[in-house]
Protein backbone atom coordinates (compact mmCIF):
# COMPACT_ATOMS: atom_id res chain seq x y z
CA UNK A 1 0.00 0.00 0.00
CA UNK A 2 1.46 3.42 -0.89
CA UNK A 3 2.04 5.91 1.88
CA UNK A 4 -0.51 8.25 0.27
CA UNK A 5 -3.27 5.62 0.64
CA UNK A 6 -2.24 5.12 4.24
CA UNK A 7 -2.54 8.87 4.85
CA UNK A 8 -5.87 9.17 3.08
CA UNK A 9 -7.17 6.34 5.23
CA UNK A 10 -6.15 8.27 8.32
CA UNK A 11 -7.71 11.47 6.96
CA UNK A 12 -11.31 10.23 7.03
CA UNK A 13 -11.53 11.35 10.66
CA UNK A 14 -10.76 15.01 9.85
CA UNK A 15 -13.15 15.69 6.96
CA UNK A 16 -12.21 19.28 6.22
CA UNK A 17 -8.78 20.83 6.71
CA UNK A 18 -9.05 23.96 8.87
CA UNK A 19 -5.33 24.52 9.06
CA UNK A 20 -2.54 23.87 6.64
CA UNK A 21 -0.31 21.04 7.88
CA UNK A 22 3.16 19.76 7.11
CA UNK A 23 4.35 16.38 8.28
CA UNK A 24 7.91 15.09 8.13
CA UNK A 25 8.65 11.41 8.68
CA UNK A 26 12.16 10.00 8.75
CA UNK A 27 12.70 6.26 8.97
CA UNK A 28 16.13 4.74 9.55
CA UNK A 29 16.47 1.01 9.01
CA UNK A 30 19.82 -0.38 10.13
CA UNK A 31 21.41 -3.58 8.92
CA UNK A 32 20.51 -6.65 11.00
CA UNK A 33 22.76 -6.76 14.06
CA UNK A 34 24.44 -3.42 13.38
CA UNK A 35 24.96 -1.49 16.62
CA UNK A 36 28.06 0.62 16.11
CA UNK A 37 26.95 3.58 14.05
CA UNK A 38 26.00 6.59 16.21
CA UNK A 39 22.34 7.65 16.17
CA UNK A 40 22.21 10.80 14.04
CA UNK A 41 18.42 11.10 13.93
CA UNK A 42 18.02 13.56 16.85
CA UNK A 43 20.50 16.03 15.32
CA UNK A 44 19.15 15.41 11.81
CA UNK A 45 15.69 16.26 13.10
CA UNK A 46 16.88 19.66 14.42
CA UNK A 47 18.59 20.46 11.13
CA UNK A 48 15.55 19.47 9.05
CA UNK A 49 13.19 21.63 11.13
CA UNK A 50 15.60 24.52 10.66
CA UNK A 51 15.46 24.04 6.89
CA UNK A 52 11.66 23.84 6.91
CA UNK A 53 11.42 27.07 8.91
CA UNK A 54 12.96 28.81 5.87
CA UNK A 55 9.72 28.03 4.04
CA UNK A 56 7.07 28.26 6.69
CA UNK A 57 6.75 30.03 10.01
CA UNK A 58 6.93 27.44 12.80
CA UNK A 59 5.72 28.15 16.33
CA UNK A 60 7.00 25.78 19.03
CA UNK A 61 3.47 24.99 20.16
CA UNK A 62 2.49 23.98 16.61
CA UNK A 63 5.28 21.40 16.49
CA UNK A 64 4.76 17.77 17.58
CA UNK A 65 7.65 15.30 17.52
CA UNK A 66 7.26 11.56 17.99
CA UNK A 67 10.00 8.88 17.96
CA UNK A 68 9.23 5.16 17.61
CA UNK A 69 11.72 2.27 17.66
CA UNK A 70 11.16 -1.36 16.73
CA UNK A 71 14.21 -3.60 16.43
CA UNK A 72 16.48 -2.08 13.78
CA UNK A 73 13.81 0.32 12.56
CA UNK A 74 13.58 3.86 13.93
CA UNK A 75 10.80 6.28 12.94
CA UNK A 76 10.82 10.01 13.65
CA UNK A 77 7.60 11.94 13.01
CA UNK A 78 7.41 15.74 13.04
CA UNK A 79 3.94 17.30 12.66
CA UNK A 80 3.67 21.02 12.03
CA UNK A 81 0.38 22.93 12.02
CA UNK A 82 0.90 26.13 10.10
CA UNK A 83 -0.49 29.20 11.78
CA UNK A 84 -2.96 31.45 9.93
CA UNK A 85 -0.80 34.56 9.49
CA UNK A 86 -0.18 36.88 6.52
CA UNK A 87 2.89 35.01 5.42
CA UNK A 88 0.93 31.74 5.13
CA UNK A 89 -2.39 33.43 4.31
CA UNK A 90 -3.70 31.98 1.13
CA UNK A 91 -5.12 34.37 -1.40
CA UNK A 92 -8.77 33.74 -0.52
CA UNK A 93 -10.09 36.48 -2.70
CA UNK A 94 -10.37 36.20 -6.48
Q: Rounded to an integer, what distance in angstroms lies between the CA atom of residue 63 and that of residue 81?
A: 7
Q: Which is nearer to its own copies, 60 or 90 (CB)?
A: 90
Among 17, 60, 61, 85, binds its own copies (CB under 8 A): 17
Concatenate the DSSP letters of all residues of 5-65 into one string. Answer: HHHHHHHTTS-S-SS-EEEEEEEEEPPTT---S---HHHHHHHHHHHHTTTS---GGGEEE
Regarding 13 and contact with its own copies (CB under 8 A), the answer is no
Please, which residues bridge with residue 18 across strands?
Answer: none
Which of 42, 59, 64, 72 is the binder for its own copies (CB under 8 A)?
72
Q: Which residues bind its own copies (CB under 8 A)?
A: 1-4, 6-11, 16-32, 34-37, 40, 43-44, 47-48, 51-52, 54-56, 68, 70, 72-73, 75, 77, 88, 90-92
Amino acid sequence: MSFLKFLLGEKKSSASVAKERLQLIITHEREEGSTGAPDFLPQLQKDLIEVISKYIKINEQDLKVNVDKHGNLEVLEVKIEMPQDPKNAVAKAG
